[in-house]
Structure 1
Amino acid sequence: MGKWAKEHGLLLANLALFLMFFGGMIISGAAAYSEDQTAHGEPAVSILGYLATGQFVEATFENWESEFLQMAMYVILTVFLFQKGSSESKPMGRTAPQDQDPRDARIKHSTPWPVKRGGVVLKLYEHSLSALLLVLFLASFSLHALGGTEEYNQEQQSHGQPTVTLLGYLATSRFWFESFQNWQSEFLAVAVLVGASVYLREKGSPESKPVAEPHYETGA
């Protein structure tokens, strides 16, 4: 068990942090939602009741969509684009291991089965990472829209205003403001990491070049 945990420590730590912060979001979100409800003469909700509200769905997937968009675009852009001196870029002037054609690889027992199978299966596998991230982005985008529509209509009804359809909500400035305010921050964070990794270091991290490496050296 100890060996397995060590081998999967990075994933386990991130999942644990996700669950901790997600739990905090749910508890604090339910409290804030109930405070708003009581301020308007409406009944408070339980934590489980909060999970069924449009506000929770909207808030959750509004953030998830930006994360998956960021990671999908980062995976795709780093296939074609370079940043001289950055550890986040493939090396310049030479072929990177990621560019090698798997069809020319020597088949071993440990070779992933799509590579052994070849054909369409391999073609899909070659782009499976970006495909998964884009699917998760589209799913989160859709759920953001659905939850946002419910929350928006609840607010409209409380103010005696007409409700809207899903397509109607997609046409509102509110929906796109919520999306753009998250998207811009994600790409700013990536730009800072890409640029800062040219000149700054973090000893022991694979996201950083070796501390003594020259600034102009590109890639890990």
Structure 2
Amino acid sequence: MKKALRNNGLSLFFGLIFILALAGQAITGQAAFNEEQLTAGLDEITFVQYITSSSFAVDVSENWQSEYLQFLLYITATIWLLQKGSPESKELDKPGLESDHDQLVGEHANAKSPAWARAKGWRLTVFSNSLAATMGLIFMLSWLVQSIAGHVAFNEEQLRNFQEPLSWAEYVASPDFWNRTLQNWQSEFLAVGSMVVLSIYLRQRGSPESKPVGAAHDDTGTSG
């Protein structure tokens, strides 16, 4: 058990705090929603009703889609784009997809390489791009859920105010949708950009996201 906890500590830690944060969001979200209901002279809803509502779904999904967009862009941008001095960048002489030898694929695979890394043709192509493809798929699904749930929540508000509801296409083109979307995107882009630049000059001893404490500022693609 100790070995399993040690070997999976990072994923277990973030999995636990994700569940706690999501539960906290659900509890506080229900309380805030019910306050609005009472102010409007409407009935309160139960916890189960809230977590299965469009309001909760849109709040969760709009954050998920921005996070996975962030990772999708970061994974793909770092293939070609470099940043001198950052451990978040590849070394300055290694832009692009790199050689089969560097990537340990095909005849350069070793005994521990995954089976599809030793394969040829479409299986190698799929496996070589599986991380970005999965991130992209989760982003698109989260964006779709956000747009559908947001459309339902928006129209519920429109009807409460005796206003005309919008079609899904009209909602996706509306300022409300893009305001909710872009306020998440800009924060994600700022966070990633800050990490890339700050890690050039600042250090965190023992972290693989930082260069070694004594590394030069212009050392690129090294981690501690």
Give the shorter-chain TM-score range: over 0.9
Q: Is the 8 A contact 2:109 2:117 kept in 1?
A: no
Letter in 1 for 2:54: G
1:105 and 2:104 matched: no
Segments of structure 1 that go 5 or more residues without pairing to the other structure are: none
Q: 1:184 aligns with which of 183, 186, 209?
A: 186
- The partner residue of 1:144 within 143, 146, 160 is 146
Q: How does 1:4-153 map to 2 (within 5 A)?
A: 4-93=4-93, 99-101=98-100, 102-108=105-111, 110-153=112-155
Q: Contact 2:80–2:95 (CA<8 Å) still a contact in 1?
A: no
Deviation sequence 1:84-106 (CA, Å, 0-9, x none): 0001000112589x834112413
Show the counterpart of 1:175: 177
How far residue 107 of structure 1 moved from its aligned partner, in angstroms, is 3.8
**1:116 CA displacement:** 2.6
TM-score, reference length from structure 2: 0.94
- Deviating beyond 4 angstroms after TM superposition, the runs of 4 or more aligned structure 1 residues are none
Count of aligned pairs: 218
Structure of higher RCO (CA pairs closer than 8 Å, 6+ residues apart):
1
Residue of structure 2 equivalent to 1:215: 217
Question: Does residue 1:165 correspond to 2:164, yes or no?
Answer: no
Q: SS of 1:160's equivalent?
A: coil
CA distance in structure 2 between the partners assigned to 1:54 and 1:99 by the alignment: 45
Partner SS for 2:170: helix
The two structures have a TM-score, normalised by structure 1, of 0.95
Q: Residues 82 and 95 of structure 2 are in contact (CA less than 8 Å); yes or no, is this contact kept in structure 1?
A: no
Alignment gaps of 5+ in structure 2:
none
CA offset digits 1:143-175 (Å, max 9, x no partner):
000110111001000110011121111111110
